[in-house]
């Protein structure tokens, strides 16, 4: 029984370490929502999307073949 208890305890310790490591990684990767919004606004202003051009789509027709009716 002592051996099983020791194995159980080792598994618990390993699991706790893994959970702590994953939590640390998650916290490091986290970007606050305000920062995401600011980055998105900067990117959008850099791109300067023309609404009419965006809605109209590409000027050249696509070269995809349309499915013919049988």
- Convert the pLDDT of each residue in 20-58 to its tens digit: 999 999 999 887 777 667 777 776 665 566 666 656 555
Residue 52: inside a domain: no
Lowest mean pLDDT among 15-19, 42-46, 58-62: 58-62
**Domain membership of residue 41 as a residue range:** 17-47
CA distances from 61 to 16, 25, 48, 57 (A): 58, 46, 24, 9
Question: pTM here?
Answer: 0.42
Count of domains in the chain?
Answer: 1
**67 burial via Cβ count (<10 Å: 0-12, 13-18, 19+):** exposed
Give SS3 for 3. Answer: helix
In a domain, 62, yes or no: no
Residue 31 in domain: yes
């Amino acid at each position: 029984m002592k051996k099983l208890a020791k194995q159980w305890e080792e598994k618990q310790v390993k699991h706790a370490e893994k959970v702590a490591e994953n939590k640390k990684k998650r916290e490091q990767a986290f970007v606050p929502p305000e920062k995401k919004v600011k980055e998105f606004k900067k990117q959008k202003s850099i791109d300067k999307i023309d609404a009419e051009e965006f809605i109209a789509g590409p000027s050249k027709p696509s070269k995809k073949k349309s499915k013919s009716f049988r």
